[in-house]
Amino acid sequence: MKKILIYFICFIFICFMLPAICTKIPEVTAKETQAKTNDENNGGNIENEVIEQQDTIDETNSSNYDYREYNTIKLLHVEEGTIEEIGLDQYLYGVVSAEMPASYEKEALKAQAVVARTYLIYQIQNNANKHESAQICDSSTCCQAWISKEDRQSRWEESERESNWQKIVEAVDETTGKIITYEGSPINAFFHSNSGGVTESSVNIWGGIEYPYLKSVETSGEEGYSQYNSEVTLSQEELLNKIKEKYPNAQIDFNDEKAIEILEYTDSGRVKTVKFGNTQIAGTEARTILGLRSTNFNIKRQENNIIFSVIGYGHGVGMSQTGADSLAKNGTGYEDIIKHFYTGVEITNY
Are the C-beta atoms of residues 307 and 238 closer than 8 Å to each other? Answer: no
From CA 90, how far away is CA 67, in angstroms rounded? Answer: 13
3-state SS string for 282-312 = EHHHHHHHHCCCCCCEEEEEECCEEEEEEEC
Quote the pLDDT of residue 63. Answer: 61
Q: How far is CA 185 from the centre of its chain?
A: 20
At 53 the pLDDT is: 34
Cα 289 from Cα 295, distance rounded (Å): 11
Query: What is the C-alpha separation between 21 and 3, in angstroms, rounded?
Result: 26
pTM for this one? 0.80
* Backbone φ and ψ of 21, nearest 5°: -70, -40
Q: What is the pLDDT along the chain (350 residues), one digit of tens a residue?
A: 444 444 545 444 444 444 444 443 333 333 333 333 333 333 333 233 333 333 333 343 446 799 989 999 999 999 999 999 999 999 999 999 999 999 999 999 999 999 999 999 999 999 988 998 999 999 999 999 999 999 999 999 999 999 999 999 999 999 999 999 999 999 999 999 999 999 999 999 987 789 999 999 999 999 999 999 999 999 999 999 999 999 999 999 999 999 999 999 999 999 999 999 999 999 999 999 999 999 999 999 999 999 999 999 999 999 999 999 999 999 999 999 999 999 999 999 99
Q: What's residue 30's pLDDT?
A: 35
Query: What are the boundaries of each domain within the chain?
Result: 71-196+317-349, 229-311
Please tell me whether residue 112 adopts helix, strand or coil conformation: helix
DSSP designation for 265: E
State the Cα–Cα distance between residues 346 and 350, nearest whole angstrom.
Answer: 12
Amino acid 60: pLDDT? 39
116: Cβ contacts below 8 Å, ≥ 6 apart: 92, 95, 96, 99, 144, 189
- Cα–chain center distance at 117: 9
Residue pair 172/272 in contact by the 8 Å Cβ criterion: no
Three-state secondary-structure class, residue 70: helix
> Do 174 and 114 contact (CB within 8 A), yes or no?
no
- Please state, in angstroms and as integers, the Cα–Cα distance from residue 306 to each residue in 108, 112, 240, following that order: 37, 37, 11
**Is residue 165 within 8 Å of 81, Cβ to Cβ?**
no
Nearest to 111, CA basis, from 341, 317, 350 = 341
Which residues have CB under 8 Å from 275's CB, separation 6+? 259, 260, 261, 262, 263
Interhelix angle 106-126/88-99, rounded to 10 degrees, is 120
Query: Which of 13, 146, 7 lies closest to 89, judged by CA?
Result: 146
- On whether the CB atoms of residues 341 and 108 are closer than 8 A, the answer is no
Residue 64: per-residue pLDDT: 79
User: What's the pLDDT score for residue 129?
Assistant: 86
